[in-house]
Amino acid sequence: MPPTDAARQTARPEERPIRATHASRAATEPPLVRWTLIAVAVLFLALFLIVPLVAVFAQALEKGVGVYVKALSDPDALSAVRLTLLAAATAVVSNLVFGVAAAWAIAKFDFHGKNILVALISLPFSVSPVISGMVFVLLFGASGIFGPWLSAHGLKIIFAVPGILVATTFVTLPFIVSELIPLMEAQGDEDEEAALALGATGWRTFLRVTLPNIKWGLLYGVILCNARAMGEFGAVSVVSGHIRPVTITLPLHVEILYNEYKFSAAFAVASLLTLLALVTLVAKALVEGRAKAPRLPAEFAQARGARPA
């Protein structure tokens, strides 16, 4: 969000009040209250975020590194990794293309039904993933709407790899669009108009002007989309049919191992997904700053000595 005029004013170095390093006495609570509140917050964080994280890795390595490595190099596990990567790649690529196109249309043009389209796009967020999976069974399953036609042409979507790809793409659809729409709306279309007036073609304008303007937001959306695509369970579980190893993704593989009481192996595979989550978290933090950083107004640049003489 752009800083308000008032914020800009106070941010100028010469007008900035000297900031106190400690809050004044009058504004603080007694030590007992302070420490109690801090303790509650820390306990809560530890219980709900840190302990589970540690538990995953502890469980995974409980029976030694040998079991851990064996669980991960198991052919079924490798197959699950491959399918998960394929599903994530499909979801990211299709939602990237769809997301940019849809965000472009919504942010830069006015048309009838725009609000309905925006609402529809966020539908996968508001529907339970299990329902999403069932919708695809209804559509493409043997007794579904397109079922007879599909089987007549020898095509299989449900209880096969295409079903996994479709379901994953569906549940991750809103991530990239919803990241881009506010960004593109805020940027307006003056840059594009300027490029066109300078003689650039539409495609060149997109590549040289629009894309660089949205690249960080786009990357942020891709990271979120990818994380969700790899971790998706509900919708995929419904359309998978659990055909080993053909339609088993990593989360499904974890579930199978767990149900078979192979706890160490289950947690070993789970630790892969957890690692992915941690990598996503770091990547997200790195990108987020750049994606959301407002353009520095000239006064700021000036104040930081960045403005040339």
**Residue 11 beta carbon to another protein: minimum distance, rounded to whole angstroms:** 15
To the nearest whole angstrom, how small is the minimum distance from the Cβ of residue 174 to another protein? 27
Closer residue to another protein, CB minimum distance, 107 or 269: 107
C-alpha span between 184 and 133 (Å, rounded): 31
In the complex, what is the shortest distance from the CB of residue 212 to another protein, in angstroms, rounded to a whole number?
A: 4
Q: 18 vs 198, which CB is nearer to another protein? A: 198
Burial of 57 (0-12, 13-18, 19+ CB in 10 A): middle
Smaller CB separation from another protein, 58 or 306 = 306
The contact set with another protein (CB under 8 A) reads 190-191, 193-201, 204, 208-209, 212-213, 295-296, 298, 301-302, 306-308
- 25 vs 295, which CB is nearer to another protein? 295
What is the distance between the alpha carbons of residues 230 and 115, in angstroms, rounded to a whole number?
Answer: 30
State the nearest-atom distance from the C-beta of 299 to another protein, in Å. 9
Query: In terms of CB distance, is 36 or 201 closer to another protein?
Result: 201
Shortest gap between Cβ of 301 and another protein (angstroms)?
5
Q: Which residues of 67-95 are buried (b: 16+ CB within 10 A; e: fewer)?
A: bbeebbebebbebbbebbeebbebbbebb
Q: Measured between alpha carbons, how far is 98 from 3 in angstroms, rounded to an integer? A: 32
Whether the ω angle into residue 124 lies within 30 degrees of 0, i.e. cis, is no
Tell the burial category of 6 from Cβ atoms under 10 Å away from its Cβ (0-12, 13-18, 19+).
exposed
